[in-house]
Amino acid sequence: MDVTDITPQLKQLDVNLDSLETALKPLMGNIGDLSSKLPLLDRAKLFALTAYALESIIFSSLRLNGVEAKNHAVFQELIRVKQYFDKIQKLETPPAERETTLNTEAAIRVVKANLGDDKDIKNKLNELLVKERAKAEAKTAAAVNDKKRSAEQSGADSSGGREPKQHNKRTRTRSKKP
């Protein structure tokens, strides 16, 4: 078996441990003072990150000592902290818009079909139907404009600051044969 020189890896490990110690130094002090200045969501992130950092260091230490860390309680704690990260992520992202909407045009048509004998009701329903169609058209036009704007912006972003080439179109005139 060939023995290799592990001195470079040990030096790199020492450098990595020094940078880890520097990064964790603010957390080694009084974490309560640090967290009291933060908003609630940021405080939750701080505590979750601190717990994750400590648990992952313990996990790494166990692995370095030859212990099967995935069967250890530390691994379960890492999973629990990851669940906290997921909860925080859910709080940060706004909920998706509701996809089911009432089709008012269809509702007006149904009411009109059932109560269409009265002229006053029929006229009011026709007015409502016209308004709803106008709203739908405006909404569609706004969506199309938004898509055009986003396409123009993405096109401008991808051009790398260059202006698009403009092609000169020449108009040809055909000469009439005598």
Decide: residue 8, CB within 10 A, 0-12 exposed, 13-18 middle, 19+ buried: exposed
Q: What is the mean pLDDT of residues 77-89?
A: 92
Confidence class of residue 1 from pLDDT cuts 50, 70 and 90?
A: very low
Instruction: Please state the pTM of the whole predicted model.
Output: 0.46
**Domain range annotation of the chain:** 8-92, 104-147
Residue 113's alpha-carbon distances to 26, 29, 102, 124, in angstroms, are: 72, 74, 18, 13
Separation between Cα atoms, residue 23 and residue 17, nearest integer Å:
10
For residue range 124-176, list pLDDT tens digits in order.
878 888 888 888 888 888 888 877 776 666 555 444 444 444 555 454 555 55
